[in-house]
Amino acid sequence: MADILEQDIKYLTGVGPQRQQTLSKELGIHCFGDLLEYYPYKYVDRSKVYKASELTADMPFVQLKGRILSYETFDMGARKKRLVGHFYDGTGTIDLVWFSAVKYIIQTYKVGQEYIVFGKPTVFNHRIQLSHPDIDDASALTLNDMGMQPYYITTELMKKTGLTSRAMERITKALLAKLPPLKETLPDFITAPLHLMDRDEALRVVHYPKTPHDLQKARERLKFEELFYVQLNILRYTANNRRKYKGYMLPKVGRAFKDFYTKNLRFELTGAQKRVVHEIQSDMNTGRQMNRLVQGDVGSGKTLVALMAMLIAVDNGFQAVMMAPTEILAEQHLATITAFLQEMDVRVELLTGVVKGKRRKEVLTGLATGEVNILVGTHAVIEETVMFANLGLAVIDEQHRFGVAQRAKLWAKNDNPPHVLVMTATPIPRTLAMTIYGDLDVSVIDELPPGRKPVMTLHKYENQQTSLYNGIRREVEKGRQVYVVYPLITESEKMDLQNLEDGYSHLQEVFPDYKMSKVHGRMKPAEKDAEMQRFANGETQMLVATTVIEVGVNVPNASVMIIMEAQRFGLSQLHQLRGRVGRGADQSYCILVSGYELSAETRKRLDIMCETNDGFRIAEADLKLRGPGDLEGTQQSGMAFDLKIANIAQDGQLVQMARDEAQKVIDADPNCDAPQHAMLWNRLRELRKDSVDWGTIS
């Protein structure tokens, strides 16, 4: 069976060498098996045959059975003709209309022969017509064949070689006709209790369903199988790693942790922070390597939780490292940690690209001797010249910004890999976390520190600038500061956007008495840092910037975030930008400014931002609106999504079901060698042969 599915697609009836090249280039379809897994994107019910006498223009797609009585052609200007076929079904006559391929139509579809026609009815000159209908020979297509017609996504290049949706339907039908029964890939002990259709039936039904119920059952089976093998691979990998890598035992909560908690911590931890610190402490005391993801909105106190974990490592004689994606964010973390650890005997150092010469040498020496307890840095910390005396904990902030290979270099710093704590301020829906971060235990900090007021979010249109500027003046007069964010730096020919340079000049004219900072990605790091520092120190009232301020700026005095051309930003990015304000005790505002012409999806996005500050609700909405492949981090994580039929956003229940079943298999067969699971392990090897290893995430 494997042999026939691996046959070159060019040997299938209706394909040939030219179409084979097109299918390969456009869709990655090389063999019979690839075509079998190229699923329809929609279906139209063709189980009912209508009568011409009952058609109206407001009906959806319909089909009729009858004969073409005659053809008429009408000139429509230079070298253009309209062809009308008068079609009679015994109850009335309608018009079939074509605006191209006139000669081909007349030669192919004969007057007097019986056909089944299918299309969307409209009215022209008081007559019902179907434009460019699908036509099938009635003798070749019985009513039993009808069912639901599949529609396949096609490209312009495909259409040029005749590979329309209908052509894809025909070649898929030819493939299914020549295939023997397909082998099963899930054992009875999984499919029977879940009432899943068998694989052969599901693959045939998904291309040619007779009823909506059949289609639902077929799709459920194929989605489950796809998600099951993804989860099985992740859980297999996790179980192997837990056996393979022993973690350092860090049982002691010692002097550094206790002194910090009793003397330096000036406020009470939230219940969520206490819970997560306890989870981390338990992990580092099991003898297994910790791999934990801490999710929490901007301002929820993730850095403090990470610091307390690093102090546990220090108390047990180990070093800790915190890796951030940008120099600005690394410096921000250093400033936060240094302020927390004032007058404590814990040496904290910074290592980024700007730390050079004598200073760099001192830091490297201190790491190698163990005198440096905590290192904060960028990807510079994974360079070969950086050697730790005893690295026990690695904290990775915004992990999706680091490649798999980069993160793996941290593991090589010790004989045993360090405990790993991953932090993200991008809330990840549970079903997605199960797949992208499936090998990590997940902690959620779902409380903001006491005294924080939720940011008030408003949507304004571009012509409401007077009230916008009055609001800015009111806040600045109170001594507050304002961010103004633009999507571009300079004018783009392709996209008519307000740009930062014009906006900055305009704001200087509107607010001549205010001092302003300007920051964008094309500035030199030193210039950028100097401008941000001026704003952070309160020397400027307004910071006009691009999205470089999405991470790395902590200015509690800033109370207004204005996002120009807000329709150009994704939900996740809008939420991250909003997180720059609301860091003090004062009421803060986020103003989304857009034009009037908005798509329904964009308007929904802006409405969601105004309705909620809940990062997880926003992430769920983002996943549904954009799909998993677009979410920030899924591509950089080393895990490109390659799901053919399942959808992480819409199939959450199936994701959970698949994970539960995969976990049962791992629990029953930890060494992956039990005879009753041979089908599963063989299939997993087949799937992994030509694809990404879904397990190697972190």
Tokens found for residue 187: 């054992």
* Cα–Cα distance, 18 to 547 (Å, whole number): 46
More confident residue, 497 or 475: 475
Look at residue 589 in the predicted model and tell me its pLDDT: 93
- Residue 555 backbone dihedrals phi, psi, to 5 degrees: -125, 90
- Residue 111 backbone dihedrals phi, psi, to 5 degrees: -65, 135
pLDDT at 695 > cutoff 70? no
Within 10 Å of residue 95's Cβ, how many Cβ atoms? Answer: 18
* Cα–Cα distance, 582 to 584 (Å, whole number): 6
Look at residue 431 in the predicted model and tell me its pLDDT: 66
Angular region, 250: left φ>0, alpha ψ -120 to 50, beta rest: beta
How does DSSP assign 30-65, residue by residue? Answer: -BHHHHHT---SEEEE------GGG--TT--SEEEE
pLDDT at 401 > cutoff 60? no
Look at residue 496 in the predicted model and tell me its pLDDT: 39
Look at residue 490 in the predicted model and tell me its pLDDT: 55
87: helix, strand or coil: strand
- Burial pattern 125-157, b for ≥16 Cβ within 10 A else e, equals eeebbbeebbbbebeeeeeeebbbbbebebeee
Which amino acid, residue 376?
V
Q: Read off the pLDDT of residues 235-258 as tens digits, 9 standing for 90 and up.
A: 888 888 777 777 888 988 889 999
607: helix, strand or coil: helix
Going by their DSSP bridges, the two strands 558-563 and 481-485 should be labelled as parallel
Which amino acid, residue 500?
L
Give Cα 657 distance to the centre of its chain. Answer: 21
* Cα–Cα distance, 96 to 133 (Å, whole number): 7
Among 400-414, 448-462, 550-564, 617-631, the range with the most confident prediction by mean pLDDT is 448-462
pLDDT at 697 > cutoff 60? no
* Cα–Cα distance, 296 to 426 (Å, whole number): 7
Give Cα 694 distance to the centre of its chain. Answer: 15
Q: 332: closest CA among 146, 580, 101?
A: 580
% of the chain residues with pLDDT over 70: 88
pLDDT band at 228 (very low <50, low <70, confident <90, very high): very high
Average pLDDT over residues 611-623: 79
Q: What is the pTM of this model?
A: 0.67
Angular region, 166: left φ>0, alpha ψ -120 to 50, beta rest: alpha
* Cα–Cα distance, 380 to 400 (Å, whole number): 17
More confident residue, 395 or 550: 395
How does DSSP assign 518-584, residue by residue? Answer: EE-TTS-HHHHHHHHHHHHTTS-SEEEE-GGGGSS---TTEEEEEETTGGGS-HHHHHHHHTTS--S
* Cα–Cα distance, 433 to 98 (Å, whole number): 50
- With contact defined as beta carbons under 8 Å apart, do 88 and 69 qualify? yes
- Strand order across the beta sheet in which 291-296 lies: 348-351, 374-377, 319-323, 391-397, 419-424, 291-296, 441-445
Q: 220: closest CA among 677, 621, 657, 685?
A: 657
More confident residue, 233 or 326: 233
How does the average pLDDT of the chain come out, rounded? 85
Element (H, E) at 356: none
* Cα–Cα distance, 192 to 622 (Å, whole number): 35
Q: Any idea what DSSP says for residue 427?
A: -
Q: Read off the pLDDT of residues 416-425 as tens digits, 9 standing for 90 and up.
A: 788 989 888 7
Look at residue 438 in the predicted model and tell me its pLDDT: 67
Look at residue 497 in the predicted model and tell me its pLDDT: 47
Give Cα 8 distance to the centre of its chain. Answer: 33
Q: Which residues have a Cβ under 8 Å from the Cβ of 520 and sit 6 or more positions away?
A: 489, 500, 528, 545, 546, 548
Look at residue 520 in the predicted model and tell me its pLDDT: 81
Q: Read off the pLDDT of residues 478-488 as tens digits, 9 standing for 90 and up.
A: 999 999 998 86
* Cα–Cα distance, 10 to 369 (Å, whole number): 65
- With contact defined as beta carbons under 8 Å apart, do 400 and 345 qualify? no
More confident residue, 647 or 129: 129
More confident residue, 410 or 569: 569
More confident residue, 450 or 443: 443
pLDDT at 74 > cutoff 70? yes
Average pLDDT over residues 368-396: 91
Q: Read off the pLDDT of residues 165-201 as tens digits, 9 standing for 90 and up.
A: 889 998 999 999 999 999 999 999 999 999 999 999 9
Look at residue 192 in the predicted model and tell me its pLDDT: 95
- Based on the number of CB atoms within 10 Å of its own CB, is 49 exposed (0-12), middle (13-18) or buried (19 or more)? middle
Q: Read off the pLDDT of residues 549-601 as tens digits, 9 standing for 90 and up.
A: 655 567 888 899 999 989 888 887 888 888 888 877 789 999 999 988 888 88
Nearest 5°: the CA angle 340, 346, 351 is 85
pLDDT band at 542 (very low <50, low <70, confident <90, very high): very high
Q: Read off the pLDDT of residues 86-116 as tens digits, 9 standing for 90 and up.
A: 999 999 999 999 988 888 899 999 999 999 9
